[in-house]
Amino acid sequence: MSQKFDIIVLGSGPGGYVAAIRASQLGKKVAVVEKAELGGICLNWGCIPTKALLKSAQVFEYIKHAADYGIQINNAKADFSAMIKRSRDVAAGMSKGVQFLMKKNNITVIYGFGKLKGNKQLEVTDDKNNTTTYTADHIILATGGRARELPNLKIDGKKVIGYRQAMSLTEQPESMIIVGSGAIGVEFAYFYNAIGTKVTIVEFMPNIVPVEDEDISKQLEKEYKKSGINILTSSTVESVDTSGKKCKVTIKTPSGAITEECDVVLSAVGISTNVEGIGLEECGVAVDKGRVVTDDFYRTNIPGIYAIGDITKGQALAHVASAEGIICVEKICGHHPEPLNYNNIPGCTYCQPEIASVGLTEKAAKEKGYAIKVGKFPFTASGKAKAAGASEGFVKVIFDAKYGEWLGCHMIGANVTEMIAEVVVARKLETTGHEIIKAVHPHPTMSEAIMEATAAAYGEVIHL
């Protein structure tokens, strides 16, 4: 007889483990099935270890520019292997933290590859090829995603790599071509460039970080070019020849085809969903373009089967997966959670300068027919930013001119990922621009720029 649970969660990333903990808090008998390390890609190969690498790069840059702060340091150099080790140690520590949380919340952890078998059953095959079947009233799929491959850019793990290899190379490459300039691409571009690798970014769209407001994209491109990063926009990689010592990369640019040599090519063109082999087709679970179809509470078309995180319709972000997991479980347990508002999800990119945004871009707001008020406040006018030696960037806000609705906010600068939550909460509470202007912000802080940008939108800015 198979072991019985109230809820089984397939996958232990930030969607899966959060869903499991919330289910345990609500009195359910819960199990998590994981084929690798607890914490999933985010904790082990994504969000957390990349931020450790980026911090190492930032500290190295501080040291290189110590004289700007009145400090003399000589002969500083980056120890690539030590940076990689620190990143892996941070990831390992976070994974152990999830192990602790599983134990604390009396959640059973089952290691192996899980597959739906119908009749509320999940078959798990461990690394010794032993198979065990488990039963649950509710099965939540939280299997996440992996690096996407292009037909002409196959990842071999040596010369053509994905994000996992990019954070565990044994030697620092002298040169690197990064294909794609989303969050993964520009974050690794910053890290490797900061420690001395020659970096080229190839982006298909006209702007880097193409999902961001165009003003943000242009500012980041300006800063990256200033730091020595080569940027090729409206360009595509046609082929990669890895037969020699170096990679020969043929790139189609607006002015014609060129060939560039590099040690390593990093593919950073997004993610593919992990939906293969988990029994969706056999159980009749509806899938559309690689994503599991769900309702607003993450119920699939098959009763008792749910899906959250990267394999569903929402943004492929850790905080989205966590929010979906909580909503899903609370609905299962008879609560009445609100559906998630995907128009109020913050996006953060942890390059330097950082990027943070939420809501509509200026272009999108105009396309939707809004009459808008736009305000911008540069960090060159911020006392805190100037004192910190981090005056690059700005805060840009967009309001509906008719009703005062806060349509969007876009920031680029030091630590702006720590500032965006104010905007998310304000939009959740339907706060107007005038209320932001009258809410006293502490001085001197970077966050004052939000108030000042809002004041600029309404013609009331003081410090410009």
Residues annotated as catalytic (active site), given as ranges: 443
Residue 374 structure tokens: 């736009």
How far is the C-alpha of 163 from the C-alpha of 183, rounded, in Å?
11
CB atoms within 10 A of CB 274: 23
Helices (H), 167-303: 183-194, 214-226, 280-283
How far is the C-alpha of 328 from the C-alpha of 307, rounded, in Å?
9
3-state secondary structure 15-31: CHHHHHHHHHHCCCCEE
Distances (CA, A) of 342 to 105, 271, 356: 29, 19, 16
What is the C-alpha radius of gyration for the chain, rounded to an integer number of angstroms? 24
How far is the C-alpha of 194 from the C-alpha of 349, rounded, in Å?
16
> Is the separation of the CB atoms in 5 and 108 below 8 Å?
yes
Q: Strands 145-147 and 271-273: what pairing?
A: antiparallel
Q: Containing H/E element for 96?
A: helix 80-104
How far is the C-alpha of 309 from the C-alpha of 276, rounded, in Å?
15
Question: What crossing angle do the helices spanning 214-226 and 183-194 adopt, rounded to 10°?
Answer: 20
CB atoms within 10 A of CB 175: 16
- Alpha carbon 416 to chain centroid, angstroms: 15
User: For the range 65-74, what are the long-range contacts, defined as Cβ-Cβ under 8 Å and sequence gap of 24 or more?
Assistant: 65/389, 68/389, 69/389
| ∠ Cα 384 385 389 (to 5°) | 120
Q: CA nearest 117: which of 339, 273, 232, 284?
A: 284
